[in-house]
Amino acid sequence: MSKVQVRLKVNGKVIDELVEPRTLLIHFLREHLNLTGSHIGCDTSHCGACTVDLNGKSVKSCTVFTVQAADGEVITIEGVANADGTLHALQEGFREMHGLQCGFCTPGMITRAYRLLKENPTPTEEEIRFGIAGNLCRCTGYQNIVKAIQHAAAKLAGAPFQEAAE
């Protein structure tokens, strides 16, 4: 089947590539662009490890064709850090609050939380839990992930988050 020319922006950079229509966005990111931060976990749109931001929406990139993302804008974990290279408040939050153990789910968690905080900069604990319901973590029990997101929300709002990690 013939390839299609696809143009899209990934982490601010314009990409022009020939792809097979069946190429999933996660494969395109990992194998064509060597952006291996987004992970393939379940490969069935349940676990959220492959979550990236596409046109202002959190999507599971294992269930989106690259051609669907044509002319769009993608942000992956590699594009989340601040322009000066310092960690984004969410990345800092996950570090400070011990929001990860094995780290496999973390890129998906952070890119999902990135959109969650854009839409709702002051989420309650319940809203955070509901907002990350599409991301599975098999290590942490979520407690410190929620705290990490609270930490980031507080930092972005200019107020420090007090509670320590467990």
Partner 1 sequence: MIPGSFAYHRPNSIKEAISLLADLGEDARVLAGGHSLIPMMKLRLASPDHLVDLGAINDLKGVRADGADIVIGAMATQHELIASELLGSKLPLLRETSLLIADPQVRYMGTLGGNVANGDPGNDMPAVMMCLGASYQVVGKSGERKIAARDFYKGAYDTALSTGEIVTAIRIPVPPPGHGFAYEKLKRKVGDYATAAAAVLLTINSGKVATCSIGLTNVADTPLWAEQAGKILVGSTLDAATVTKAAAAAEAITSPASDNHGPAYYRTKMSGVMLTRALIRAKARAS
Give least dist CB 22 to partner 1, A: 5
# residues contacting partner 1 (CB under 8 A): 31
- Which residue from 7, 12, 13, 22 is in contact with partner 1, where contact means CB under 8 A? 22
- Residue 29 binding partner 1, by CB under 8 A: no
- Which residue from 8, 24, 75, 152 is in contact with partner 1, where contact means CB under 8 A? 24
C-alpha span between 152 and 89 (Å, rounded): 5
C-alpha span between 59 and 10 (Å, rounded): 14
Closest among 35, 131, 17 to 7, alpha carbons compared: 17
- Which residue from 49, 59, 89, 117 is in contact with partner 1, where contact means CB under 8 A? 59
Q: Which region, judged by CB under 8 A, interacts with partner 1, from 84-92, 96-104, 126-134, 152-160?
A: 126-134
- 111 burial level (CB within 10 Å; 0-12, 13-18, 19+): buried
DSSP type of residue 24? B
C-alpha distances in angstroms, 84 versus 43, 88, 105, 110, 155? 34, 10, 25, 19, 17
Kindly identify the residues of this chain, within the stretch 87-116, that bind partner 1 according to CB under 8 A.
Answer: 112, 116
Q: Which residues here bind partner 1, judged by CB under 8 A?
A: 1-2, 4, 20-22, 24, 27, 43-46, 48, 51, 57-60, 63-65, 67-68, 70, 112, 116, 130-134
